[in-house]
Amino acid sequence: MGSRARNLVNSVALFDLDGTLTFHDTLMPFLMGYAARHPARLAGLWRLAPALADYAGARDRGLLKSRVIRLAMGGARRSELEAYAAAYVRRLIPRGVFRADALAAVEAHRAAGDHLVLLSASPDLYVPLIGGHLRFERTLCTELKWEGERLDGALKTSNRRGDEKVRCLEWLRTQYPDAPIVAYGNSDSDLPHLQKADRAVLVNANGRARRLAAEAGIATADWR
């Protein structure tokens, strides 16, 4: 009876976004699309060079992300960014940004009654809208600071990548204490939290990540 009851417990299906559910990054098209609509901001992109230099030295992806966001849309009003983000997300699926196999995996977990959670290092400017569009139960992503109704662009949370995703996974265990976690990611930076999951699949990864996954006993797959 105990074994049968455990088998009836629904899983938490934890999906990465960029490169896992999608064919490519979603943040830079989001930022560049906004900047293209505000040409005056393009003139300030030369200031990205110092940020890239700092990143090369410190490897602080969170700092780089914050600087790029601030250059592209820092100071913009919340209402304007919400409208832009909604339009951006509406265009994603018709443009074939999402992998058909990834969406099929999401629907298979939904049909099984599993808890769907989206976990992304991309920011809360638009990732929760993607989670809502795909009918995820929860969305965890990098959160940004606001000054009243204007975007500051500094990180409110840690950049949700690498070890920060491990912390997110551990927090999810407190929210779903009896549920095994099935995690999907696409890069070597996802391997730390994939190793902590009860079952994991590394999808669409490069050769190095696949080798590391094999060493860790993590399954690999190619989603189209």
Q: Determine the pLDDT at residue 60.
A: 76
Question: Which pTM value belongs to this model?
Answer: 0.90
Residue-wise over 180-203: b if at least 16 C-beta within 10 A, else e?
A: ebbbbbbbbbbbbbbbbbeebbbb
pLDDT at 39: 82
pLDDT tens for 48-104 read 656 555 544 556 788 889 988 998 899 999 999 999 999 999 999 788 899 999 999
Task: Give the list of residues 6+ apart from residue 205 with CB closer than 8 angstroms, or none.
Answer: 186, 187, 188, 213, 220
- CATH 3.90.330.10 given to domain 2-221: no
pLDDT value, residue 50: 64
- The owner of tokens 């797959």 is 221
Task: Give the whole-angstrom CA distance, residue 19 versus residue 1.
Answer: 41
Stretches where the chain sits below pLDDT 70 are 1-8, 42-59
